[in-house]
A and B are shown apart, each in its own frame.
Chain A
């Protein structure tokens, strides 16, 4: 667990800035959002289902090892009930019954994997005359004012995939998904179908090696879009779906004037050399910058003031919201013993942060948080370690509670 200098739990902040409001996604996803906001427990991994495809071959092998029309007593590990059920069903279709009787032929079975292959193995029979049944399949080779009382954080899921992603942005009724390798155009990413359907993909072509903490940002304007990566800028169109990349370092659309991210780093820098990770808009021309020392610095008309806070890594800013002049900041905190981040809400008063009661638990570890301008939703990318997937979320403030 990270520690602050005062010994309190660390804060993690993030967010981002970009100009897309994604109106089409909001109403469709509200229900799922509420579920995410209120359920803190990450989804468990489901590895057992991965072996169901081996069940037909495995059942055939077991059937060959036992007498026809016999009865067997099959035991799998408790977390492999799905593949066990399938094997039992397939054996039954071959006339081999599965019973709990102690007289039946015992079959101890397990499905697992090693570095080279996936394997299902069974120990068939009793001490005398035990037989080994084993099938293997290669693993795939490497060749996803008083607002405190009424303002609350809302989390709305947008899209999910197995492979890492850096940012997402709405493009009409479709979604652009940025990774370090490509930009994908996704259709049908609706409630209940967060996986969507990738309709086209364009590679990001560059000779550069990405930094280890690679970051990326999308910007959409009508039918055109831009993808910003460290030392690389790509420009494309939605229809037809095109993308052209160049090794050039441009200012990123994160709000304050910046020189982009250097090709082998993960930080932005201002024109006068101030280094920061993220910028949160807090109204007017004011920004809260998350520095590379994990501090918050308020930038107001070029004047910089350190804002006292616990160490922060990510923050999103919201201004012009909830019928008030207050600006809010959402920061990220990591729970000590779960693979999930918690968002916390603060109100910015002068150059002080005042904590609000609202929190929201994310389904995993926050890897990116890009603020939008004004009251628009921030875009968060979360790595759900338990489920092994990445989720794109909209982080917004609700003024109705």
Chain B
């Protein structure tokens, strides 16, 4: 029987650690220094990003400055700039009442026509109109989950001012943007209360190693951390704060290994992988084993899905494989040390099971691989939307073909995911959280600097003044 519990529980304790550090009374003031690996070209949420990495980095910044009509929180969908919403019988026309008295960064008050104009830019196919203190959104087809759709950062309410200035309503306003970084200042009349810090200086283009060094030397307050570096920080007494598991690391077999004839290879290799060891050892307790595409908190059903582990089963099965299926070339991104480390551990497990496995991290041309290890973000939204977006990212190269659910219901999503896993072409390995190293200047708070569903929560971060 499949286990319901995981031995890889350190992630839970990391998440709890943020809560443990709580009771100090927060102080106002100071400039927080944060760092990002990617360089963000434009902070306009409606502009296309160069790649997924840049899109994720930009989301960190834009979520400080701009807000959407709704927000997805751990508790579910919550009002943000909208206070209520109502659909017609077909769910193709929505009336959204806006929050009154929201002060924009230019000190004017958000008007419905500005929200309508912003949505027209982010989604030209919608017909958006003003209706008193509300706006109406008409879609070409029924959109029963429109409140979830507009929560996306792409649909943030951006008011375009003179000189194409981007004006938001979030806790911080843009002060300065250049190629090396972004500076934002606290928005005093923010409707959810002014942030504790006076401003945030975000340095971009900082490699992970440099970010770690900056944090350890006190030159940065919040940096991105790889799971493989978490122990280094905690041993130095620095905090590591985590989101919920938001990224999937999965094995994808290439087309020549996707036929039914190669199904025993796929099943056997998948069964040889010791996910608990990958989580506990390689990823230093900063991950959870994945046997499904969607994490449990996104689907609610993942404990029922996926094949069981078992290296003993694998050892017996490898000997029965055709000889050409006992050698596997596994490709990883040469720029991603985390997936490389996971791949090396998979290789150890596979060799113990009887496979000959080569991990390949090519910088240029390389021999054809049998499988590749990929890492994709799992969006925090409804299960059907999350499945659709995650699988779209898995198939960025046009492979593998993944059938989408027959409807938006949860059981349809379950069936589509189970069907995908039954094929064995995509093999989930682990789910990873976003991790942030937090410097000594940052005061302890009940609110973690890592938002549970991804990104920074810098409005609730405060800085200690130097002790007298």
Contact = CB atoms under 8 A, between A and B. Distances in A.
A385 B460 CA distance: 18
B231 interface: no
A94 interface: no
A337 B20 contact: yes
B267 interface: no
Q: Which of A313, A314, A366 has the most CB of B within 10 A?
A: A313
A306 B444 CA distance: 24
A147 interface: no
Contact of B22 (A113, A265, A334): A334
B26 A110 contact: no
A365 B467 contact: no
B4 A277 contact: no
Nearest to A7: B237
A336 interface: yes
Interface residues of B, number: 63
Interface string A66-90: 0000000001011000000000000
B21 A334 contact: yes
Contacts of B101: 207
Contacts of B76: 115-116, 139-142
B380 interface: yes
Given A78-B5, A117-B410, A366-B23, A209 B189 contact: yes
Nearest to A365: B22
Interface stretch (B77-85, B272-280, B331-339): B77-85
B323 interface: no
Interface in B189-208: 189-196
Interface string B61-77: 00000000000111111
Contacts of A134: 301, 410-411, 414
A335 B468 CA distance: 24
B146 to A, nearest CB: 13
A290 B24 CA distance: 11
Nearest to B145: A116
Given A2-B444, A136-B410, A211-B194, A114 B468 contact: no
Contacts of B440: 3
B28 A265 contact: yes
Contacts of B303: 77, 110, 112
A143 B84 contact: yes
B16 interface: yes
A59 to B, nearest CB: 17
Interface stretch (B50-58, B120-128, B291-299, B427-435): B291-299
A290 B72 CA distance: 38
Interface in A312-348: 313-314, 332, 334-339, 341
Contacts of A10: 24
B130 interface: no
A118 B467 contact: no
Which secondary structure dominates chain A's binding surface? Answer: loop
A139 B467 contact: no
A1 B21 contact: yes
Interface stretch (A17-25, A219-227, A291-299): A291-299
A42 to B, nearest CB: 11
A108 B192 contact: no
Contacts of A108: 1-2, 304
B383 interface: yes
Nearest to B380: A115
B4 A110 contact: yes
A245 interface: no
A26 interface: no
Contacts of B296: 112
Given A121-B304, A121-B414, A116 B77 contact: yes
A123 interface: yes
Contacts of B24: 2, 10, 12, 294, 313
Contacts of A290: 25
Nearest to B77: A141
A212 B304 contact: no
Interface string B211-255: 000000000000000000000000001000000000000000000
Contacts of A209: 189-194
B300 A113 contact: yes
B360 interface: no
A114 B189 contact: no
Nearest to B78: A142
A217 interface: no
A230 B429 CA distance: 50
Contacts of A213: 25-26, 196
A266 interface: yes
Contacts of A292: 25, 27, 465
Contacts of B73: 142
B19 A339 contact: yes
A264 interface: yes
Contact of A142 (B2, B19, B75, B465): B75
B4 A132 contact: no
Contacts of A332: 23
B190 A115 contact: no
B381 interface: yes
Interface string A97-141: 000000000001110111111110111000000001010100111
A316 to B, nearest CB: 14
A292 B195 CA distance: 17
A207 B148 CA distance: 28
A5 interface: yes
Contact of B467 (A114, A311, A383): A311
Contacts of A1: 20-21, 444
Interface in B13-39: 16, 19-28
A118 B446 CA distance: 26
A264 B193 contact: yes
A367 interface: yes
B446 A78 contact: no
A334 B18 CA distance: 13
A210 interface: yes
Interface of B: 1-2, 4-5, 16, 19-28, 72-79, 84, 101, 148, 188-196, 237, 296-301, 303-304, 380-383, 409-411, 414-415, 418, 440, 443-444, 446, 459-460, 465, 467-468
Closest 6 CB pairs of A and B: A119-B300, A114-B300, A77-B4, A142-B78, A112-B300, A12-B23
20 contacts: A12-B24, A14-B25, A75-B1, A77-B4, A78-B4, A110-B304, A112-B300, A114-B297, A114-B299, A114-B300, A115-B381, A115-B382, A119-B410, A141-B76, A143-B84, A211-B194, A293-B465, A294-B25, A336-B20, A341-B23
Interface of A: 1-3, 5, 10, 12, 14, 75, 77-78, 108-110, 112-119, 121-123, 132, 134, 136, 139-143, 207, 209-214, 264-267, 277, 290, 292-295, 306, 311, 313-314, 332, 334-339, 341, 365-367, 383, 385
